[in-house]
A and B are shown apart, each in its own frame.
Chain A
Amino acid sequence: MWRRSTVPEGDGTIVAAEPKASAVPARAGRRTAAAPAAAAGTVLYLDGVTVSFDGFRALNNLSLVIAKGELRTIIGPNGAGKTTMMDVITGKTKPDRGHVIFDADTDLTRLDETRIANLGIGRKFQKPTVFEHLTVFENLELALKCDRGTFRTLFFTLDAARARRIDEIMGLIGLGDRRAFRAGQLSHGQKQWLEIGMLLMQEPQILLLDEPVAGMTDHETEQTADLILDINRDRSVVVVEHDMEFVRRLGAKVTVLHEGSVLAEGSLETVKNDHRVIEVYLGR
């Protein structure tokens, strides 16, 4: 059931290293024109996205390219706009300007949350949100990829293959012995994992994880890093995180967000030595 992607396993080196320079200025003049198309091999392409809240720009002309199969970490100080960026991608927030192109030619800014989720974009929230009154199994069953129409859901019966798949994921996220537990009874870290498990059940093309290791012990953080690397073998993953040790462990390309736009991009080492990044982090 895993969709094996045919693209090279991503550390993101093939992706345009300077999306700001290459894409944005050229389009600046025709913001209202039809949505641009992304290059082949791109799963997500943010182009000049601006979001304002009462005049305050949470995202300021943000551009970003995520390749198919890529693992990308996004860091940045509090209020940099990381969560807002995920809100825009998943349809929770509509941008004032700019486009979000998924899989070459779908403009996500025109779709609602439900449609976007069904296209194959999964999201884990900063604050873990599992359904507390449902069991671990039921949480995963709800996330299971299948026809989500209301009547289909009413008459849905779980076949053996799908039940096995749920068990498989339950084992993967280390909750195999918690099957009948209510999600509300789980520890914080277990809830985070359950949420990641639910994302896997959705079989998305791309996963957006907002601070997946917040509140985890060092050991849990390590396990989560391994889990994410494992997941990344089959799909693109974007991780927002403050925990530098975790970011280092993922060993992926890093994008630094500051005041709603990209400040720096590259390997963790490059980014760490960038004087603007040092300024932003130390100057607070």
Chain B
Amino acid sequence: MGPLTSRLLALESRRGWSVFCGLLLVAAVLVPVLHLATPPDSPLHVPAYMVSLLGKYLCFALLALSLDLVWGYAGALSLGHGAFFALGGYAMGMHLMRQIGERGVYGNAGLPDFMVFLNWKELPWYWWGFDGVLWTALMIVAVPAALAFVVGWFAFRSRITGVYFSIITQAMTFALMLAFFRNEMGFGGNNGLTDFKDILGYPLQSDATRVALYVASAVMLAAGYLVARFVVASKLGRVLMAIRDAESRVRFLGYDVTAAKLFVFTLSAVLAGIAGALYVPQVGIINPSEFSPAQSIEVAIWVAVGGRGTLFGAILGAFTVNGAKSVFTGLAPEVWLFFLGGLFILVTLFMPKGIVGLWGQLRAKIGEGVQNVAQKHRA
């Protein structure tokens, strides 16, 4: 066994690995089996809408996880992570557009419908290559990474931290939203990219394809979790936490703070991009609203609710908040934003460590209570 293998095995305790494998089995095996192998009237049956809903949540969870890596560990609150998600989504969307081929409304194999509509004669150069799977896969990873690297390089090198970093990342996603709204940009403007037909030759509408995308999301989330775990459990993870607590002190120890932050910010953008790429075929559309600043803020709320700096909390938070959102939008959509705002305030005030920290908080409270009672008893 090499040193790397043993380090991978040591990422989690025995119990941690059991929980991890258990959750992965439930998400990636049990849910699809219950969907495919049980009759629709069985109480165990998982309906198709539930599978695609869970698939979306899994992508959100990966996005939340990626944010937790930079915010929870390196202390840099990015409020522009939706942009990396959206860029990964657009890269996937462009591929799916090219797969439509002659089946579009205009039947033009060389150009997507919206370009024909705009009277464009040829495919812009930045669309070249998106017919290919490999090129698309590369772009899903490389475009968010490149953006994060450039923005991070300027921000971290200039030692922009705290709220200023948050504002810069908000500005970044806002600027991208405005850009992608423009028709001349060649990304479908307002409407974005949609009307996808198939992925890797399989029809997107079919049940089997949806289940496959769902399983892929579950597996990617698990893989993303392990990568993030590897980083935070390494010595670099401790450097990041040290940066979060006392950045300048880390410099005097001789670590390159800029490089460490740049690494984790870029890695995080890659995970967010992959999440976006898996999200788009499952919802069937990508448009500029994914870049909206509010979207990115919501991601931060997921992480805060679940408990930042724990990785698992981010996943839990994404599921909890989005589950609540699905319920609310069914019952009373107009109060959702108030609920979300209220939730955020409550969590910041009373649950600084989120849901994950709740257990410890409760235990401390109970301990205090017991002590008080004991003291009274003695008095």
Contacts and interface: CB of A to CB of B under 8 A. Distances in A.
Given A114-B254, A114-B255, A117-B253, A154 B245 contact: no
Contacts of A129: 246, 249
Given A153-B239, A155-B234, A114 B257 contact: yes
Given A141-B235, A154-B236, A157-B7, A114 B242 contact: no
Interface of B: 3-4, 7, 231, 234-236, 238-239, 241-242, 244-246, 248-257, 259-260, 263
B358 to A, nearest CB: 19
A243 interface: no
Given A113-B252, A129-B249, A150-B256, A134 B242 contact: yes
Contacts of B251: 112-114, 117
B101 to A, nearest CB: 43
B71 to A, nearest CB: 15
A155 B253 CA distance: 19
Interface string A111-144: 0111001100011010001011110001001110
B260 A90 contact: no
15 contacts: A113-B251, A113-B252, A114-B256, A117-B253, A129-B249, A131-B249, A133-B241, A134-B245, A141-B238, A142-B238, A142-B255, A150-B236, A154-B231, A157-B3, A157-B7
A50 B3 CA distance: 51
Counting chain A CB atoms within 10 Å of each CB, the highest count among B236, B251, B254 belongs to B254
Given A153-B235, A154-B236, A156-B234, A132 B252 contact: no
A111 to B, nearest CB: 12
B253 A202 contact: yes
Interface in A151-188: 151, 153-157
A148 interface: yes
A272 interface: no
Nearest to A146: B235
Nearest to A112: B251
B245 A133 contact: yes
A44 interface: no
What's the dominant secondary structure at chain B's contact region?
helix
A92 interface: yes
A129 B251 CA distance: 12
Nearest to B244: A133
Contacts of A151: 263
Given A141-B238, A142-B242, A153 B254 contact: no
B5 to A, nearest CB: 12
Interface of A: 90, 92, 112-114, 117-118, 122-123, 125, 129, 131-134, 138, 141-143, 148-151, 153-157, 198, 202
B255 A134 contact: no
A155 to B, nearest CB: 7
Contacts of B235: 141-142, 153-154, 156
Contact of B236 (A131, A132, A153): A153
Contacts of B234: 153-156
Given A125-B249, A155-B234, 5 more contacts: A92-B252, A117-B252, A117-B254, A142-B255, A153-B235
Contacts of A156: 234-236
A151 B253 CA distance: 17
Nearest to A132: B245
Contacts of A90: 252
A202 B250 CA distance: 12
Contacts of B253: 117, 142-143, 148, 198, 202
A114 B261 CA distance: 14
Nearest to B255: A148
Query: Which among A123, A150, A156 has the highest number of chain B CB atoms within 10 Å?
Result: A150
Contacts of B256: 114, 148-150
A47 B149 CA distance: 40
A138 to B, nearest CB: 5
Of listed A129, A153, A156, residue having the most chain B CB within 10 A: A153
Contacts of B255: 114, 142, 148, 153
Nearest to A131: B242
Nearest to B246: A129
Contacts of B244: 133
Contacts of B231: 154
Contacts of B249: 125, 129, 131
A100 to B, nearest CB: 15
A5 to B, nearest CB: 20
Contacts of A118: 254
A134 B238 contact: yes
Nearest to A183: B245
Contacts of B257: 114
A167 B263 CA distance: 31
A129 B242 CA distance: 11
A112 B7 CA distance: 34
B241 A150 contact: no
Contacts of B259: 149-150
Contacts of A134: 238, 241-242, 245
B260 A153 contact: yes
